[in-house]
Amino acid sequence: MNLQLCRVCGWDLGENGWEGPGATPNYVICDCCGNESGVDDLDRKMIGARRAAWISKGFLWMNEESRPSNWVPEHQLNTVALLWP
């Protein structure tokens, strides 16, 4: 299980995300959805609201330069939905 995924969109934050269950977040902003770990994703209700807003805006990227050319948002969301439905 990759605990370094953004809890909202599933983007791999590398070593910058949450460090594990019960750990303190690193307060980084996701290049993909703009979520700030430890601020916008503290519980499932917050995660769901933030995710719904991101989806309704058409999966807009916070940092477009980081977006892979072959990116498929549904694949990314399928991964994170298993961890943070």
Output the pLDDT for position 8: 92
Structure confidence at residue 85 as a pLDDT band (50, 70, 90): low
| Cα–Cα distance list, 7 to 15, 45, 69 (Å) | 14, 12, 22
Residue 39 near residue 18, CB atoms below 8 Å: no
Percent share of the chain, pLDDT over 90: 48
Q: Delimit the domains of the chain by residue range.
A: 1-85
Distance (Å, whole) CA 72 – CA 43: 25
Identity (one letter) of the amino acid at 74?
E
Q: Mind listing the pLDDT tens digit for each residue in 22-71?
A: 667 788 899 999 999 889 888 889 999 999 999 999 999 999 999 999 99
Does residue 72 surpass a pLDDT of 90? yes
Q: What is the pTM of this model?
A: 0.84
Half-sphere exposure of 68 (CA within 13 A, CB side): 8
